[in-house]
Amino acid sequence: MNRFLWPLIGFVALVALLAVGLNLNPRDVPSPLVGKPAPIFSLPRLAAPEQTFSPKEMLGKVWLLNVWASWCVSCRLEHPVLVELAKRQTVPLVGLNYKEVRGDGAIDMDKLPPGAERTMVIERAAGWLAKHGNPYTLSVLDLDGRVGIDYGVYGVPETYVIDKAGIIRMKHTGPITADVFSGKILPLIAELSK
């Protein structure tokens, strides 16, 4: 009996280890930005491109930064959740429109006339929001994805919860599901808003 006990225990331990490993999400990379100040940027606003927006303007408020693009399929998935959030008017939601034109694999940047990108970005982003509803307090345009790099964006959509002091308190990669929203984001907002 004892002869088989130890190999069995070893086997069960191995299976348990592999089971845990297989159930982890490899996309769930912990962000080093959590607990750090939100990187500073100054980008044109979608609704008024001659004006810029900087995260400094949000100091004193708990707010969300959501990275999106019209070519991003998963963004459409989370969009109803964002629209719901906007209806409740819990916190301001800032949209970071990420590489609207450059990120779209269907567009050949070399064939685009110079200077046409910005107009195209605005048209496409505004068109998408008109069609699917606009949950954003405001959206800013990150044409070349540089600000995205500062925020460690690697898969749109991504969402950041930023506190009153401008510190990133949470990052969610991938579409926000109703579960994530009510289970993680809303409680965190409530706690930070105290």
Partner 1 sequence: MRRWLMVFLLALAGSFGGQTLHADEAVPLADNELTEKRLVAISSELRCLVCQNESLAGSHAELANDLRREIRTLIEDGRSDAEIMEFMVSRYGDFVRYRPPLKGTTLLLWFGPGVLFIVGLAALVLYLRRRDRAIEETPLSADEQRQAEALLQDKDSRQGLS
Q: Name the residues that contact partner 1, by CB under 8 A.
A: 26, 29-33, 99, 103, 105, 144-146, 149-152, 154-155
Q: Judged by CB, which is closer to partner 1: 111, or 194? A: 111
Helix or strand run (H / E) with residue 173: strand 168-173
Min separation Cβ 3 and partner 1, Å: 11
Min separation Cβ 173 and partner 1, Å: 10
Min separation Cβ 153 and partner 1, Å: 8
Q: Judged by CB, which is closer to partner 1: 60, or 155? A: 155
Min separation Cβ 26 and partner 1, Å: 6
Q: Judged by CB, which is closer to partner 1: 55, or 103? A: 103
